[in-house]
Structure 1
Amino acid sequence: MSATPTSRPLVTASQLGQLLVASRKRRKLTQAEVAQRVGLSQNRISYLERNPDELSFRQLLSWCSAIGLELRLGERDGGTPDNVPEW
């Protein structure tokens, strides 16, 4: 039985960290396995899961690829640039 893919809007760095951890665990990957795929140390993966605001865009793209996530950007429904929260 396969789970239906879901997408969630992220508006904070904290939410990104939670998504990265949850996705890694759902795929039964260790931090060391993700580290090897991304080209970082396990300690750095651990740190970035707790401090996702320090991820570079290149690291984020590599990480998403390593754990089977797809990064999408789009306009918010009914949102305006004035309503975007600061990280």
Structure 2
Amino acid sequence: MPAVLSSQALVTAPQLGQLLVASRKRRKLTQAEVAQRVGLSQNRISYLEKNPDELSFKQLLSWCSAIGLELRLGERGGVESKNISEW
């Protein structure tokens, strides 16, 4: 079973690329295996790992699901978010 990864704060696209690669490798998945799960080519997975700023949100969600990551959003600094009704 893969090691449990604690939450990781990301603020740049390169950090996202590094996280996607590290998570894929930790789960012993090849780019081809991720590509099949996400519905892209292996070449495209390779490209997007190096250029994560070009990932669509839909691709990112599929990718996270394929490699066992959960995407969460929150305010920086751990500040509790306000009630949505206040928006």
The equivalent of 1:22 in structure 2 is 22
Q: What is the TM-score of this pair, normalised by structure 2?
A: 0.85
- Change in CA separation of 1:26 and 1:78 when aligned onto 2, cut-off 3 Å: closer
The equivalent of 2:40 in structure 1 is 40
Q: Does 1:7 align with 2:7?
A: yes
Unmatched segments (≥5 aa) in structure 2: 80-87
**Deviation larger for 39-48 or 4-13:** 4-13
Higher relative contact order (CA 8 A, sep 6+): 1
Percent of aligned pairs sharing the same letter: 86
Q: Residue type of the partner of 2:36? A: Q
- Change in CA separation of 1:77 and 1:67 when aligned onto 2, cut-off 3 Å: same
Q: What is the TM-score of this pair, normalised by structure 1?
A: 0.85
The equivalent of 1:84 in structure 2 is none
- Change in CA separation of 1:47 and 1:2 when aligned onto 2, cut-off 3 Å: closer
Name the CA distance, whole Å, in 2 between partners of 1:2 and 1:61: 20
Unmatched segments (≥5 aa) in structure 1: 80-87
Q: Does 1:71 align with 2:53?
A: no
Aligned residues, how many?
79
The alignment partner of 1:15 has SS state of helix
Task: Indicate if the aligned counterparts of 2:3 and 2:26 stay in contact, CA closer than 8 A.
Answer: no
- Change in CA separation of 1:41 and 1:9 when aligned onto 2, cut-off 3 Å: same
Task: Report the RMSD for the aligned CA atoms in angstroms.
Answer: 1.7
